[in-house]
Amino acid sequence: MKQVIVKIIDTTTNKLVRDFSSEDIFETEENQAAKASILLNYEGADDKYGNLMTSSLTFDLLVSDARDGKFYHLYTGSETKYKVELWTNENQLLWQGFLMPDQYSEPYKNGCFFVSMTATDGVGLLRGKEFEGSYYEKENSVIKYITTALRETGLNQELYFAPAIEATNGFRWDEVYVSGNLYREEPKKSDVEFLPSSSMDNMYDVLERLVHDLGCRLFTYDNKWFLIGYNQQHRSSIEFLHYDVNGGYKGRVKQEVSSKKVTFYMNPNLTVVSPWKTVVVSADLDEDNTLVDEKYYKHEGTVFSHDPTQYWKIVGGADIGWTPRDGKWIATWSLPGQLAPDFKASTPTLLGATNFRTEDNVVGSYLELKDRIWIEKSDNMFVLKYFEFELELLSESGLSEKDNYENNEYANVLRYELLLNNEVLRSNFPNSPNYLEDALELDYNDNSYEYKEEVHKNKNFIEKRRNLSGKIKIDKLNIAKSGWLQLRIYPPVIKNIKRPEFHTTAIKKLLIKLIAKKDYEAKRVRQIDYTTKKDVELFHIDNAQDNTHKRFIFKRDGIVEDKSWRVSWKRYGVNESKRYGDAYACMIHDLQPVPHIKIDGDAKGILPPTMLYDFHWMEDKRFIPVRLELNFSEAKTAITMIENVYEEFFKSGGIFG
């Protein structure tokens, strides 16, 4: 009786092929082929942490008439020209892939011989493919990246996903987004290239990183892609999130996992695996710790210049004004008999708050950041987090007097407020409780003139106008709690509106910079008498702040994201709220709670990757397959399997208390 059938399909004609005669059907059955000629191989791992369990099918085609190159037409440079399907005699599609391109071998001999062929699931071929350009620039869901890559294998298979780690807010992974900028490397400056190109990560690398960081194993079987969390492999019943080939969510599917007793031909090899004492999960945060800099206030004065106004919002009676950074006004005489010169501000210019105010109406009129900046406090009581704040304000004047400055009459002209969650952190308003600490260090400069060439009996000149400046620098401002950071710049506050001495408060310097650890680390240690340690490095990591592309972002129609969601995760089935890396570290411990065994050997029968397996060693034990070679010709399977042990640790601090 036939056990399996291998079919080769020409995808350009969608017909089954046999040989160059183009007959309609071609089949090679294991009872007609060479010994051990139909092998389905799953390249897994020696532990439970294998990620891409890629598969390949090797089979031999019989040449009974000794004809040279009988199957040479199956040699192709195309990755998807010839599709290979593995069917049971009950018409069930077990596996599909494509003939490997650029490979063909046969012996040079007379008589009957066999030509060896190999088909793969196409995952390895993703090394030569890149995403469409927008995938490296925009934000897309995690599922979108995975399904887009899998679609490029040529297999139109749907995805069944059992996540290892979930968001505590109930968002699915198709609602969790990552930035495409993660997968591109910006070009280095070049003296010879006008537009040097960026380096893009290929699909394979992106897929591998995502599957690894999700804590999952990916493989194909039964005409499906399975993406199963490490901590779900042991379950006898798994609930999958079902996605179509384009990443569209189709619902939840519960699937029972069958088990089967394993019998080995010869004594298998047994290895004892120890539990982990220490698990360390780390990630490079890749943060740009400069949150606000000169692009927020400086304009170079050309049509190509960056526009700082995009970062600010006008509130109340304030408006945006501009002041030359160097304080220089260029005066030119352009016409004969001109009564006064034309004045032009030198560049670059500085953005500021204009429309002077008085003490009675200054409150409620200011410039503030259009987008507040989320600041996340340290999640480790032994690791401090600060930010550096440096501000210098400048206001030009035509009517001010140095004597007034020296008499302290300008002490409160320049105003600012730094807030966290609408609570004032720093302010130099006179009624501020920390006024003496937060006051600006003031300086005053008189005007000066630099005369140039004579035009129309007048000399052009450069005027540096009188100005009042004030600055403050706070090297370490402790971040005691998370929240939204806001900065407000006020117009000049004057005493006499009939003789306004100042009109605009310009930002001469502004720097807000985080001082924090550059990497993330979660360390979980069990109190057991072992020295074993596992280090895991993640490429993707959670981050509540926006100063890095390495962060998960939540998107759902009609819902506004709460930044705190980004750093609240849980292991599947566990009531908790942890940082992503911490949940990952705990999961690794759960997978190896006690000493257990790994078995390698040749087992009787065909053992697919979707089942659990029973074997008696000291007692009845259940196992998870991690590497397989299914030999359909001899009805045996070379298998590596790990004992199915699982126990949850570090469950304190649940979501509900």
Lowest-pLDDT range of 4-13, 74-83, 493-502, 532-541: 74-83
Q: How confident is the model at residue 192 (pLDDT cuts 50, 70, 90)?
A: low
Beta strand 27-29 pairing with 553-554: unpaired
Q: What would the pLDDT profile of 630-644 be if each residue is shown by its tens digit?
A: 998 889 999 999 999
Q: What would the pLDDT profile of 194-240 be if each residue is shown by its tens digit?
A: 555 679 999 999 999 999 999 999 999 999 999 999 999 999 999 99
User: Residue 651 carries which side chain, given as an amino acid letter?
Assistant: K
- Spatial neighbors of 294 by CB under 8 A, at least 6 apart, are 509, 510
Q: What is the DSSP string of 493-562?
A: B-S-TTS----EEEEEEEEEEEE--SEEEEEEE--SS---EEEEEESS---SSSSSS---EE-BTTBPPP
Tell me the C-alpha distance between 511 and 292, whole Å. Answer: 5
Give the pLDDT of residue 509: 98
* Mean pLDDT for the chain overall: 89
Distances (CA, A) of 538 to 20, 31, 492, 519: 50, 47, 50, 11
Predicted confidence (pLDDT) at residue 29 exceeds the cutoff of 50: no
Percent of the chain exceeding pLDDT 70 equals 89
Predicted confidence (pLDDT) at residue 30 exceeds the cutoff of 80: no
Mean pLDDT of 603-614: 96
Q: How confident is the model at residue 23 (pLDDT cuts 50, 70, 90)?
A: very low
Phi-psi region at 630: left, alpha or beta (left = phi > 0; alpha = psi -120 to 50): beta
Compare 101 and 417 and report the one with higher pLDDT.
Answer: 417
Tell me the C-alpha distance between 540 and 535, whole Å. Answer: 15
Model pTM score:
0.86
Give the pLDDT of residue 390: 98
Give the pLDDT of residue 114: 54
Lowest-pLDDT range of 186-200, 279-293, 547-561: 186-200
42 touches 207 (CB < 8 A): no
Mean pLDDT of 42-46: 93
Q: How confident is the model at residue 187 (pLDDT cuts 50, 70, 90)?
A: low
Q: Is 635 helix (H, G, I), strand (E, B) or coil?
A: coil
Strand partners, 345: 329
Burial 406-442 (b: 16+ CB within 10 A, else e): eeeebebbbbbbbbbeeebbbbbbeebeeeeebbbeb
Q: What would the pLDDT profile of 352-405 be if each residue is shown by its tens digit?
A: 999 999 999 999 999 999 999 999 998 888 888 999 999 999 999 988 889 999
Q: What is the DSSP string of 246-294?
A: T--EEEEEEEEPPEEE--BSSPPEEEEEPPPSEEEEEEE-----EEE-G
Give the pLDDT of residue 21: 24
Compare 205 and 108 and report the one with higher pLDDT.
Answer: 205
Give the pLDDT of residue 26: 38
Q: Dihedral sign, CA of 554, 558, 563, 569?
A: negative
Predicted confidence (pLDDT) at residue 449 exceeds the cutoff of 90: no
Q: What angle do CA 253, 176, 143 make, to 5 degrees?
A: 55
Q: What would the pLDDT profile of 64-83 be if each residue is shown by its tens digit?
A: 444 444 454 455 556 778 89
Q: How far apart are the first and last CA of the chain?
A: 60
Predicted confidence (pLDDT) at residue 545 exceeds the cutoff of 50: yes
Q: Is 83 helix (H, G, I), strand (E, B) or coil?
A: strand
Give the pLDDT of residue 107: 47
Q: Dihedral sign, CA of 547, 550, 555, 559?
A: negative
Q: What would the pLDDT profile of 249-293 be if each residue is shown by its tens digit?
A: 999 999 999 999 999 999 999 999 999 999 999 999 999 999 999
Q: Is 225 helix (H, G, I), strand (E, B) or coil?
A: strand
Which range scores top for mean pLDDT: 19-28, 69-78, 509-518?
A: 509-518
Q: Kindly report the number of other CB atoms within 10 A of residue 108's CB atom.
A: 6
Tell me the C-alpha distance between 138 and 124, whole Å. Answer: 25
Mean pLDDT of 600-624: 95
